[in-house]
Amino acid sequence: MNNDHQYLDHLRHSCAHLLAAAVMELWPDTKRTIGPAIENGFYYDFEFANPISESDLSKIEQKMRELVKKWEGFERKEVTIDEAKQLFANNLYKLELIDEFSKAGQTLTLYTSGNYVDLCRGGHSTHPKVELKHFKLLKIAGAYWRGDEHNTMLTRIYGTCWPTKEELDAYLLQQEEAKKRDHRKLGKELDLFVFSELVGPGLPLYTPKGALIRRLLQQFVGELQGSIGYEEAWTPQVTKADLFKVSGHYDKYKDDMFRVSSNYSDEEFFLKPMNCPMHAQIYASRPRSYRDLPIRICDYANLYRDEKPGELSGLTRLRAFSQDDGHCFCREDQIETEFTNVANIIKFAIAKFDMKYWIRLSLWDPNNREKYLGAPETWERSQATLEEIVKKLGVEYKKAEGEAAIYGPKMDFMAVDALGREWQISTIQLDFIQPQRFELRYTDQDGQLKQPVMIHRAILGSPERFLGLLIEHFAGAFPIWLSPIQAVVIPISQDQNEYARVVLNQLRAAGIRAENWNEAESMQNRIRKAEKQKIPYMLVVGKREEEERTVAIRKRGNKNEGSKQLEEFITNLRKEIDERAL
């Protein structure tokens, strides 16, 4: 078994070639576009003359298995622009890529395997005939060319490929479970959030239940960050472009930001995509002394990013979201303490959701310096500082070149959910660049003006995205403290309605979110409904419970826990909620 990341990428990109070869054999008039390796698989986008469906996937797979028997390797050949254009004369997509690559000064290369030839930069398996055995085509989806809704809608075929049959089978089993846990499906069934065509894609609307969970997550983070000295600020959602020109975001991200027009000003405005430049302005609002540092600011303001429609995905990729964003302005001798304090509350938070995690040490790519702000020596200094801190934390970590923010390296906490999938949720970032660009200063004890360090951090990241993750991690069965309804009272007959109201009133008086389900339908139907809505506790009350002032407790998952005195149950439940138990 070979789990090397590059090996898997090459394997999956090779399988994308094999997919395209099979499609072209079956439908020769199809227009090919691109076929990259992605996490856990690959895809290829096509323009078919006539639509295909998922029922065609088995036919394509069969053709792939037939073709790969003759694929001994991938033959590389450099070609001129004219040669490449001649080969793809009837394919506008490939012609566009050829022009793009040639303008960027890239060498144009073709790769041949069997009878199939494609325009490609490279990165393939060495022995496709032997290595491309354990693959599966998964689904068909629509995808705009280049992710732009103004372009042609293409047909995207997704697949997965693994070094061994065991790995393929395990992944397919995981995917089946993931379908059952899909947060878009469960979010609708549990009445947590909706999307509206009239409102727009990537702009979620939270029902009272969904808004409650979102608020509870924010309160949890608020307690944690308050415990290490962060104070909440508030900043506007619209700002002048000048702010982002100074921070450097304008040149790097302006195409991904929402522009805002004013009837009374010619100035350029944007909806805010991040908080850090505004927090820098709070710091810059008055003189600072070394005694003032560290200054810790957090913010729950809404953020907006102009994501391409084809890249939007439920709550995990949105155009409107918030973030448990925070920034610390400190002296260099305070960096380690601040990082450690934030890392400790992140570790505590992740443990509350029963997740494992590791740290990705996200570094810059020295071969693509134009992507980043600041001088190389600044990057080397900040990266060395950050790695030293990570080592002292004693947590498993892996280096990842090219994953840094534009202004500095970062420590990303990669949480592992119940299905073994990894999610980047928490982050702590070291920034020497923005304080420099905004000319932030403090007066040191020697009377000299010095530049503070800026630490960016998020505890759970976006509560919207984290909600999507939690829905899938818990399969919608939230821990008691996050459950919108924590208990339902179910009277066996109408004769117990009065006692059911007494139980309900006592539950609510104790701050427990409870409902009385006394509908004129069978008790079993009401229990099934509560199970489907994944409510943690069902309190069944009949004649005996009324006489003894007890409740018959049924816990989520069809677990009967017998009868208890109402007061005892409330005390135990209140403790469970207050401790944020799983």
DSSP state of 126: S
Catalytic residue among 124, 156, 305, 360: 305
Measured over the CA atoms of residue 282, residue 288, residue 290 and residue 291, the dihedral's sign is negative
Q: CB of 491 within 8 A of CB of 499? A: yes
Catalytic residue among 327, 473, 534, 554: 327
Catalytic residue among 279, 456, 473, 534: 456
The one-letter amino acid at 167:
E
> What is the Cα–Cα distance from 113 to 17, expressed in whole angstroms?
9
Q: Give me the average pLDDT of each 10-residue run along the chain (582 residues).
A: 76 97 96 94 96 95 96 94 94 94 89 94 93 96 88 95 95 93 95 95 96 96 96 94 92 89 90 94 97 95 88 91 94 93 94 92 86 85 88 88 86 91 91 93 96 95 94 96 97 92 96 93 92 96 94 91 94 95 88
The 10 Å Cβ neighbour count of residue 332 is 13
**276 is a catalytic site residue:** yes
> What is the Cα–Cα distance from 263 to 285, expressed in whole angstroms?
29
**281 is a catalytic site residue:** no
Is 127 annotated for ligand binding?
no
**327 is a catalytic site residue:** yes
In the beta sheet, which residues pair with residue 540? 490, 552
**15 is a catalytic site residue:** no
**13 is a catalytic site residue:** no
Is 279 annotated for ligand binding?
no
**410 is a catalytic site residue:** yes
Q: CB of 137 within 8 A of CB of 61? A: yes
Q: Note the pLDDT of residue 3.
A: 53
Q: Note the pLDDT of residue 408.
A: 86
DSSP state of 375: -
> What is the Cα–Cα distance from 13 to 128, expressed in whole angstroms?
11
What secondary structure, in 3-state letters, does 280-330 show? Answer: HHHHCCCCCEHHHCCEEEEECCEEECCCCHHHCECCCECCEEECCEEEEEE
Quote the distance between the C-alpha of residue 98 and its chain's center: 33
**456 is a catalytic site residue:** yes
Residue-range domains of the chain with CATH: 5-178 (3.30.980.10), 193-470 (3.30.930.10), 487-578 (3.40.50.800)
Residue 89, C-beta contacts closer than 8 angstroms, at least 6 positions apart: 95
Quote the distance between the C-alpha of residue 573 and its chain's center: 32
Q: CB of 162 within 8 A of CB of 168? A: yes
Q: Note the pLDDT of residue 301.
A: 85
Is 327 annotated for ligand binding?
yes
State the number of CA atoms in the 13 A half-sphere of 474 facing the CB.
24
**Mode of pairing for the β-strands spanning 238-240 and 269-271:** antiparallel
Q: CB of 389 within 8 A of CB of 340? A: yes
Distance between first and last Cα of the chain: 36
Both tokens assigned to 399: 């280096």
Q: Note the pLDDT of residue 1.
A: 39
> What is the Cα–Cα distance from 17 to 157, expressed in whole angstroms?
12
Q: CB of 297 within 8 A of CB of 440? A: no
Return the residue matching tokens 């959701």.
353
> What is the Cα–Cα distance from 506 to 573, expressed in whole angstroms?
12
> What is the Cα–Cα distance from 219 to 404, expressed in whole angstroms?
29
